[in-house]
C-alpha cells in the first residue's frame, strides 16, 4: 500500500517538472487552437483513441506522421467505419503490428452509431485491442478523469522508483497499485502525461538522466547506485529461426502473382508474395515449388535467386529466400489465403505489404527495369 503522504510528496515535484520540461505539443492532447488542454477541458476521444492504439509497441516520434496522415484520411469515427479494410491497412503500412489497424477499424464500426463517448472503463475494454492502460489513457486524456495508466514507460519508472526485485511483467499488481495511488485526483490528465514524459525523456531504458529527475531523492534504484539495472529482466530466450522460400511468380503478360493473408495473426489481411517454410533437408527451390503447388494449386519453374532478406519479429527470426518464378500451369486458387491476384509490378504500391516485402518489391522492380531502362530478359 502506498502511503498517502508518500503519494502527495511525489505528485507535486513531478507536475512542476512537467510544466517546464513536458511534451506539451502532442497534437491529439491539444485544443483546436493548438494550445495544451487545461484542467477539466474535454477533448475529442477519437484522435486520442487512434493515437493510443498506434502508440502500442511504437514510439511517439514514429507515430506522429502516421497519425497525421490517418486523421487526414479518416478524420472521424464515422469516416473510419465507412472505410474499406484495404485502405486502412495501406495507410498503416510500415507501422507494424497490423492487427492494431484491423481492431481500430472494427471498433469504429462497432461504435459508429454511438451517441455519446463512454466515460467509464468497461465500454472501452469491450473494444478489440483495448486494455486497461490504453483505456485509462484515453479517458484521462480526453475527459481529464482519474484513471491510472501502466504503459511501458510507466512500468519502468515505477519499477525503478521502488527498485522492484521482480520483472515488471511479474509485478503488475504492485505497479498498478502505485500508479493508482500516485495519480493526482485534481489533475489526472497532466499527471499521467507527466509520468509518461518522465519515462520517455529522463528515465530512459539506457543511460537515464537521473540528475534531471524530480524523483531522484525518492528513487530506490538511484539510491542503489545503478538505476539502469531496473526493471529486472527475465532471462533472455533464443528466438527460433526459420527459412522461408518465396516465389515471385511472373506470367507471360509480365504480371506478378500476390495473395492476401487470412485475417489472423500480426500480419492478417496484408498482401504478400506466396511461399512457405523450408523443410529439413529440402532444397529451397523445391520448397518454393511445393508451397506454390499446395497453397495456390499452380506449377511454376523456379528460376534465379532475386534477393535474400533477414527479418526479426518479437517471437522469431526469419530469412526469406526469394526466387523469380515463371508460371507454367494451373489457375491460382486461394487455398490458404483470402484471395489471389495477378497485378502489374508498378501496381504493387497500391497494396499493403508487410515491411519485409519492401526490399523484395524494390529488387523485383530493379530486375525488371534496371537503371530505369527496359525490362530485363
Give the pairing of strands 256-260 and 271-272: antiparallel
Q: Which cell is 355 given?
A: 515491411
CA-CA distances (angstroms) from residue 340 to 41, 59, 278?
Answer: 49, 34, 22
Q: Which cell is 7 given?
A: 503519494
> 8, 35, 52, 78: which one is catalytic?
52
Three-class HEC string of 91-150: HHCCCCCCHHHHHHHHHHHHCCCCCCCCCCHHHHHCCCCCCHHHHHHHHHHHHCCCCCCC
Q: Is 85 a catalytic residue?
A: no
For residue 231, whether the previous peptide bond is cis, meaning omega lies within 30 degrees of 0, is yes
Is residue 171 within 8 Å of residue 179, measured between CB atoms? no
Buried b (16+ CB within 10 A) or exposed e, 86-121: eebbbbbbebbbbbbbbbbbbbbeebeeeeebbeeb
**Active-site positions?**
52
Amino acid at each position: 500500500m502506498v502511503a498517502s503522504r508518500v503519494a502527495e510528496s511525489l505528485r507535486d515535484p513531478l507536475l512542476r517538472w512537467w510544466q517546464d520540461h513536458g511534451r506539451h505539443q502532442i497534437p491529439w492532447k491539444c485544443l483546436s487552437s493548438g494550445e495544451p488542454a487545461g484542467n477539466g477541458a474535454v477533448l475529442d476521444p477519437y484522435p486520442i483513441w487512434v493515437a493510443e492504439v498506434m502508440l502500442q509497441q511504437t514510439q511517439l516520434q514514429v507515430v506522429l506522421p502516421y497519425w497525421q496522415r490517418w486523421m487526414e484520411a479518416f478524420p472521424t469515427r464515422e469516416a473510419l467505419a465507412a472505410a474499406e479494410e484495404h485502405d486502412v491497412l495501406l495507410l498503416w503500412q510500415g507501422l507494424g503490428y497490423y492487427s492494431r489497424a484491423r481492431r481500430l477499424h472494427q471498433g469504429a464500426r462497432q461504435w459508429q452509431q454511438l451517441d455519446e463517448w463512454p466515460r467509464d472503463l468497461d465500454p472501452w475494454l469491450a473494444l478489440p485491442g483495448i486494455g486497461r492502460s490504453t483505456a485509462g489513457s484515453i479517458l484521462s486524456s480526453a475527459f481529464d478523469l482519474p484513471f491510472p495508466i501502466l504503459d511501458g514507460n510507466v512500468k519502468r519508472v515505477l519499477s525503478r522508483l521502488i527498485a522492484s526485485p521482480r520483472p515488471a511483467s511479474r509485478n503488475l499488481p504492485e505497479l498498478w497499485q502505485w500508479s493508482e495511488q500516485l495519480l493526482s485526483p485534481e489533475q489526472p490528465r497532466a499527471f499521467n502525461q507527466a509520468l509518461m514524459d518522465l519515462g520517455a525523456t529522463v528515465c530512459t531504458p539506457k543511460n537515464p538522466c537521473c540528475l534531471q529527475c524530480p524523483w531522484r531523492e525518492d528513487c530506490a534504484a538511484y539510491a542503489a547506485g545503478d538505476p539502469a539495472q531496473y526493471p529486472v529482466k527475465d532471462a533472455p530466450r533464443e528466438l527460433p529461426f526459420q527459412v522461408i522460400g518465396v516465389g515471385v511468380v511472373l506470367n507471360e503478360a509480365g504480371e506478378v502473382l500476390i495473395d492476401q493473408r487470412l485475417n489472423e495473426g500480426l500480419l492478417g489481411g496484408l498482401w504478400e508474395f506466396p511461399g512457405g517454410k523450408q523443410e529439413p533437408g529440402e532444397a529451397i527451390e523445391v520448397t518454393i515449388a511445393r508451397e506454390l503447388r499446395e497453397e495456390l494449386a499452380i506449377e511454376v519453374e523456379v528460376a534465379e535467386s532475386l534477393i535474400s532478406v533477414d527479418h526479426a519479429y518479437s517471437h522469431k527470426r526469419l530469412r526469406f529466400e526469394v526466387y523469380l518464378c515463371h508460371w507454367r500451369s494451373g489457375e491460382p486458387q486461394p487455398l490458404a489465403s483470402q484471395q489471389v491476384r495477378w497485378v502489374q509490378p508498378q501496381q504493387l504500391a497500391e497494396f499493403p505489404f508487410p515491411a519485409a516485402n519492401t526490399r523484395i518489391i524494390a529488387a523485383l522492380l530493379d530486375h525488371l527495369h534496371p537503371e530505369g531502362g527496359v525490362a530485363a530478359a
